[in-house]
């Protein structure tokens, strides 16, 4: 319940901030809002379903309850991962191609990213759910359906986006270091400028490490476990799978902190919302520091 409340409230803050404050109406923030909507539904829908599953182990309403829970779980979790991948692409153009960033990443491109992220996630969830239904009806294990359910699904919903994100963030990190060295070589070689460059490098390294580290830490154990299930003779206890699933879903709670709290203007917006200041006047055009 605590995870559900924190996830819901945190992502609501992100959504309200971007929709209310004019300064935050940017293509990048629309991606963050769509990500927050997906994570919001994780807190509202997936967490309650998961709590009910943990108590009942799908002993009741198996044909309906478990399939609905699985469909929502796959759709929203995959959507969240797809949005993280889109945000990494946005960051790539912002850091590596700053001169063409505004032409490459505009409102139309962002809308297409959002539509593709949600559309691919729904189609993938439908395919995996149908494969799971067919697998339940088989007297013997259906190889194709098991392959889709346990291997092909995770490849497209996790492993492929992770590889893309790792490659993009590695490129961003290398370009950022190159830019820092270039600035250091072309400006006055004072201690102050050197300290500033060094500080910027450390900050960029720390941010990328947190983004990638938290994402991989929360999601990798669950997908590795589900991927090796078909090849294991010893069944994995349900409690272990559920624990890993809860760990993975908890990433939706942290996304607002990772992708919003790092920006000072979001922090200012959150303070104004939490304090109730936006209800006492019109602050839509306020300058957020």
Q: What is the predicted pLDDT for the residue at 37?
A: 93
Does 272 have pLDDT greater than 70?
A: yes
Report the predicted TM-score, pTM, of the whole model to 2 decimal places.
0.81
Sign of CA dihedral 267, 270, 274, 277: positive
CATH of domain 2-154+213-279: 1.20.1070.10
Q: CA 170, 173, 176, 181: dihedral to nearest 10 degrees?
A: -110
Closest among 34, 122, 150, 154 to 84, alpha carbons compared = 34
| pLDDT tens profile 173-212 | 888 777 777 766 765 554 444 444 445 555 555 666 677 7
Question: Which of 77, 66, 15 lies closest to 42, judged by CA?
Answer: 77
Q: Which residues of 62-81 are buried (b: 16+ CB within 10 A; e: fewer)?
A: eeebbbebbbbbbbbbbbbb
Q: What is the pLDDT of residue 205?
A: 55
Higher pLDDT, 72 or 194: 72
């Amino acid at each position: 319940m605590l995870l559900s409340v924190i996830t819901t409230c945190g992502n609501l803050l992100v959504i309200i901030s971007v929709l209310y404050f004019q300064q935050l109406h940017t293509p990048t923030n629309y991606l963050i809002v769509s990500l927050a909507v997906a994570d919001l539904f994780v807190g509202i829908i997936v967490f309650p379903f998961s709590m009910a599953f943990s108590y009942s182990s799908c002993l009741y309403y198996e044909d309906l309850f478990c399939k609905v829970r699985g469909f929502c779980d796959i759709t929203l979790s995959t959507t969240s991962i797809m949005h993280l991948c889109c945000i990494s692409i946005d960051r790539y153009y912002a850091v590596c191609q700053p001169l063409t960033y505004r032409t490459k990443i505009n409102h139309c491109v962002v809308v297409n990213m959002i539509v593709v992220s949600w559309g691919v996630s729904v189609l993938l969830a439908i395919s995996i759910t149908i494969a799971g239904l067919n697998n339940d009806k088989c007297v013997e294990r259906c190889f194709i359906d098991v392959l889709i359910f346990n291997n092909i699904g995770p490849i497209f919903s996790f492993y492929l986006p992770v590889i893309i994100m790792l490659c993009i963030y590695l490129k961003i990190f290398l370009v950022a270091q190159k830019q820092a060295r270039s600035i250091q070589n072309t400006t006055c070689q004072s201690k102050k400028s050197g300290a500033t460059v060094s500080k910027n490098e450390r900050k960029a390294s720390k941010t990328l490490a947190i983004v990638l580290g938290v994402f991989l830490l929360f999601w990798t154990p669950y997908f590795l476990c589900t991927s090796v299930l078909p090849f294991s003779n010893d069944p994995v206890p349900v409690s272990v799978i559920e624990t890993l699933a809860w760990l993975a879903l908890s990433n939706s709670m942290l996304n607002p902190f990772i992708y919003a709290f790092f920006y000072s203007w979001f922090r200012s917006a959150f303070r104004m919302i939490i304090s109730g200041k936006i209800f006492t006047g019109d602050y839509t055009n306020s300058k957020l520091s």
